[in-house]
Amino acid sequence: MADPTTTTTLAAPLSLSSDAFKKAVGILESEEAFPTWQEHVEIELEARGFLGLLDSKEKRPEGEEAARDWDRRNRLLKAALWAVFPPHLQQSLLSSKSTAAENWSAAKQQFGAKLIGQYAALMERLVGTKLEGSVADLEQSLSTIFRKLQDANPTKALTTSEKVYHLLRAMRKDYPAFTESWYNRRDDVTFEEVVNAAKSAEMGKEADYAQNAQAFNVQGRGNGCYKSWAQGNQL
For 199-230, the pLDDT digits (tens) are 988 887 555 554 444 444 443 333 344 444 44
Verify that 133 and 188 share a domain, yes or no. yes
Residue 5 lies in a domain: no
**Whether pLDDT at 5 is above 60:** no
- What is the domain extent for residue 216? 128-230
> For 62-115, how does the pLDDT look when each residue is reduced to its tens digit (9 = 90+)?
999 999 999 999 999 999 999 998 887 777 666 667 899 998 988 888 877 677
In a domain, 53, yes or no: yes
Are both 175 and 148 inside the same structural domain? Answer: yes
Query: Is 101 within the bounds of a domain?
Result: yes
High-pLDDT (> 70) share of the chain, %: 76
Q: 55, 79, 114 — which closes off a domain?
A: 114
Which of 70, 53, 49 has the alpha carbon at shortest distance from 104? Answer: 53
> Is 106 in the same domain as 139?
no
Q: Which amino acid is at 115?
A: L
Q: Please report whether residue 64 resides in a domain.
A: yes
pLDDT of residue 30: 81
Instruction: Output the CA torsion 107→110→111→117 (10° steps).
Output: 170
Q: In angstroms, rounded to a whole number, what is the distance separating the alpha carbons of residues 86 and 28?
A: 6
The pTM (predicted TM-score) of the whole model is 0.50
Sign of the Cα torsion 89, 94, 100, 106 reads: negative
What integer pLDDT is reported at residue 205 of this predicted model? 55
Query: 105 and 142 in one domain?
Result: no
Predicted local confidence at residue 57, as pLDDT? 92
Angle at 43 between CA 82 and CA 50, to 5 degrees: 60
Element (H, E) at 204: none
Longest Cα–Cα distance of the chain, Å, equals 96
Verify that 69 and 132 share a domain, yes or no.
no
Other Cβ atoms closer than 10 A to 161: 17
Residue 121 included in any domain: no
Confidence of residue 184 (pLDDT cuts 50, 70, 90): confident
For residues 95 and 154, membership in a common domain is answered with no
Domain boundary among 88, 114, 140: 114
Count of domains for the chain: 2
**Of the candidates 114, 139, 162, which is a domain's last residue?**
114
